[in-house]
A and B are shown apart, each in its own frame.
Chain A
Amino acid sequence: MVLAVQSSGQRRVSRRSFLLAAGALGAGFALDGCAPAQSSTAATEITFYVSKPEVIGYFDRVIEQFHKSQDAVRVVRDSTSSMSADFVRNQPPDLGCWNYNFAVAEFVKHGALSDLSDMAEAKSINPKLWPLVDQTAQYPGRTSAIPYSVMAASVIYNKDVFAKHGLSVPTTRSQLVKICQTLQDANIAPFYNTIKDTWTVGQGMFDYSVGGMVDVPRFFSALGSEGTSLNAGSAASFQKDFKAPMDRMLQLAAFANKDAASRGYADGNLAFAQGKAAMYMQGPWALNEIAKTAPALKLGTFPLPVTDDPADLKVRVNVDLALWIPEASRKKDAARQFLSFLMRPDINDKYNADNNGFGVRKDAPPASNPALAGMQKYYDDGAFYLGASQLIPASIPVSNYAQSIALGSAPDALLKTLDADWARLALRNV
């Protein structure tokens, strides 16, 4: 209740919600929205941002549950893509539940997010995940965000097609190439590629090929120390270190549907669900989309073999959702209260089970979807990497470059451009 007393004076309708209310439904709704403010219940109202539109329903039910469990904190859920604008106006949400990638990186690096290291929830996190968080962005001495859900991505394969042709999951490159040839001879597209949508190329064949043979964290830290002087002669460079992965990527691009250049993500999900290809380089988010067309399709996953050494097998991960509380929030205690509620094992685990995520706590159960079982071992062993396309700053259109390479441009020229872009970025970020 101390909480409530402290903040009762700060209660205000945010500019966004006010404009939305006024604009969309007129004065009636606006008055309605203000009504609780005049009532005597002294609850603290916090804004809660969720970045994924497909999970809003889940969080709305959690919020309802939270409201039933206590009276001191009211949560207003908001989903908007203009998070940057709200930080610019110094009116960020009180609690964010956001994809932990370059979109949040700047806020972390500039200390716009508060330290959560003292929370019990931070201590419950699987320690193997912290390097992923820090690699994306960190602020010295702070735990700026707590992972909520991790997505692991690799090759999705159609178990029936594999069984029909007597194929088993490959662990080396040669096995993979042999599988591709067998399928091609049987007139089945080995891979379904969707080159029209740049991001699918970036997160798929590009990231998998790089992560399967390059030590991603070490490469990027070496690149960071090169800075403006990055060129072909540097200890680490895109031209040198990404050349082999790009050649392997192109080798696989040849084993794909003939119309890959004009296909997008939605086309890919549909075609794969219809059994038009055996393998699909997509993340677990595609599983639910595929299930819309073919709910009974038996799917499995395996990390893309890029070398002939099975020890190199790794899965691509990303911190799909992480919780954070901005420094600018004036209701941090209330936000922390809701954060703790969200992190309760039953709520956190249910979220991950429903959304094909991997658990983030030390005591989290394995992924429940059988299609993800092929990645569990790698995830548990920490055999994972953050996608290179996510570690290159967003101002460098790396997925577009990857698309060009997949469409037939010479990799060398584009890798050289990448090096030059990186050096230029270092120049203006001095």
Chain B
Amino acid sequence: MSLIRTSRPSRTSSPSRKRRVEPVFYAFLLPTVLAFTLAITVPALMGITLSFTDSVGFGEFKFIGLTNYIAAFSDPAILKAYGFTIGFALVTVVLVNVVSFFLALGLTEKIRAKVALRAVFVLPMVISGIVIAYVFNFLFSNSLPDFATAIGLKPLETSMLANPDLAWLALVLVTAWQAVPATLLIYIAGILSIPADVYEAAALDGATAWRKLASITIPLAAGYIVINVIMGFKGFMNAYDVIVGLTGGGPGTSTTSVAMSIFNGFGSGDYSYQMANATIFFLIAIVIALLQLRATHGKTTF
């Protein structure tokens, strides 16, 4: 927070006094701008251009106008992938934020073994997504059905991953398990930055714990909630590795995400078509980001 907060005054105050910005600041920006241009902007522009062609990724191609876009909008597989991805991202972002916020509340109180507990909760962050997916794949396919059979829980006796109606839930749970630590760390930092005297004053006025949470913690941590929700949503929209490792987009096509369908086009001769899909996905992501920024405008301190 402190980093972000201090950036504001320096930006608003310095240009008004001084005309010229130290050239060294441009030098600081240069490596990132170069990397961004070469690794993101140029390929993105190439991809967008190719989406109007019939290219298979190499060799000759010709421009075919909007054909790919028209085909994409009438493709139930693509529409289904969007439906799944957006629904998945919404549920996951809510779950992750609720869980990590309350975990952060607990971990900032004066409880025993606080440091050890924090370390435990942050552990999933250092394991790669595909490894997590394979471990959970085993749990969902073997341990959970065995457990369900033992206690006589009928619906879970077959793997959740094999059930088209439940597979998405398994993905949400695993993705949340993996995503909670990063969110949790931001919340811990946010909650710790709230001045203690505010709470003292509230305590003197006889505020209940619930009242403190609703009137102090949540409003003062609002900026962190916004950051976590935006970053989380954006990240979950790109879900890929956990899904590949857990369901491979199945059963059937019930958990195929947009990122998966785009990537699959690369090796299957559907290159330009999936580039069109990627372009649509990009536009949707921009719209969502703008909506979120607008909705939260003025509620944040940065």
Contact = CB atoms under 8 A, between A and B. Distances in A.
A347 interface: no
B145 interface: yes
Given A261-B251, A428-B68, 9 more contacts: A106-B269, A262-B141, A394-B270, A403-B250, A404-B164, A404-B251, A407-B252, A417-B76, A428-B54
Interface in A93-122: 102-103, 105-107, 109-112
B264 A395 contact: yes
A428 B77 CA distance: 15
17 contacts: A88-B58, A102-B268, A102-B269, A106-B56, A107-B58, A196-B159, A261-B251, A262-B140, A262-B141, A393-B270, A394-B270, A400-B250, A400-B251, A417-B76, A420-B76, A428-B54, A430-B67
B74 A424 contact: yes
Nearest to A201: B250
B162 interface: yes
B15 interface: no
Contacts of A429: 54
A397 B145 CA distance: 27
B161 A196 contact: yes
B252 A404 contact: yes
Interface in A187-210: 195-198
B162 A110 contact: no
B71 A428 contact: yes
Contact of B162 (A87, A262, A397, A430): A262
Contacts of B141: 196, 262-264, 267
A409 interface: yes
Choose among B164, B251, B256 the residue with the greatest number of A CB atoms under 10 Å from its CB: B251
Closest 4 CB pairs of A and B: A394-B268, A262-B159, A404-B252, A261-B162
B206 interface: no
Interface centre among B60, B140, B145, B250 (most CB of A within 10 A): B250
Range class of the A interface residue count: 35 or more
A88 B61 CA distance: 12
B67 A84 contact: no
B266 interface: yes
Interface in B195-236: none
Contacts of A110: 56, 58-60
Given A196-B162, A424-B75, A397 B253 contact: yes
Contacts of A414: 252
A262 B250 CA distance: 12
A333 to B, nearest CB: 23
B129 interface: no
Contact of A421 (B77, B159, B251, B268): B77
B23 interface: no
Interface in B238-266: 248-253, 256, 264-266
Contacts of A221: none
A41 interface: no
A358 interface: no
B249 A400 contact: yes
B57 interface: yes
Nearest to B74: A424
A263 B56 CA distance: 35
Contact of B267 (A84, A111, A404): A84
A116 B142 CA distance: 50
B273 interface: yes
Counting contact residues on chain B (CB < 8 A from A), the size range is 35 or more
A199 to B, nearest CB: 9
B300 interface: no
B155 to A, nearest CB: 13
Query: B76, B145, B270: which has the most chain A beta carbons within 10 Å?
Result: B270
Given A262-B161, A395-B273, A427 B71 contact: yes
A83 to B, nearest CB: 9
B158 interface: yes
A263 B59 CA distance: 41
Chain A contact residues: helix, strand, loop or mixed:
helix
A267 B137 CA distance: 12
Contacts of A400: 248-253, 256
A111 to B, nearest CB: 7
A403 B252 contact: yes
Interface string B63-81: 0000110010011110000
Contacts of B60: 110
Given A263-B141, A428-B67, A395 B268 contact: yes
B267 to A, nearest CB: 5
A90 interface: yes
A401 interface: yes
Contacts of B264: 394-395, 397
A140 to B, nearest CB: 15
A259 interface: yes
A262 B270 contact: no
A428 B265 CA distance: 13
A395 B265 CA distance: 6
A398 to B, nearest CB: 10
A409 B252 contact: yes
Interface string A406-430: 0101000010010011001001111
A393 B164 CA distance: 24
B279 to A, nearest CB: 15
A84 B266 contact: yes
A259 B67 CA distance: 44
Interface string B137-181: 000111001000000000000110110100000000000000000
A394 B59 CA distance: 20
Contacts of B268: 102, 393-395
B54 A87 contact: no
Contacts of A417: 76
Interface string B37-62: 00000000000000000101111100
A401 B145 contact: no
B282 to A, nearest CB: 20
Contacts of A84: 57-58, 266-267
Contacts of B67: 427-428, 430
Contacts of A263: 141
Given A395-B269, A428-B71, A112 B58 contact: yes
Given A84-B57, A393-B268, A424-B74, A261 B158 contact: yes
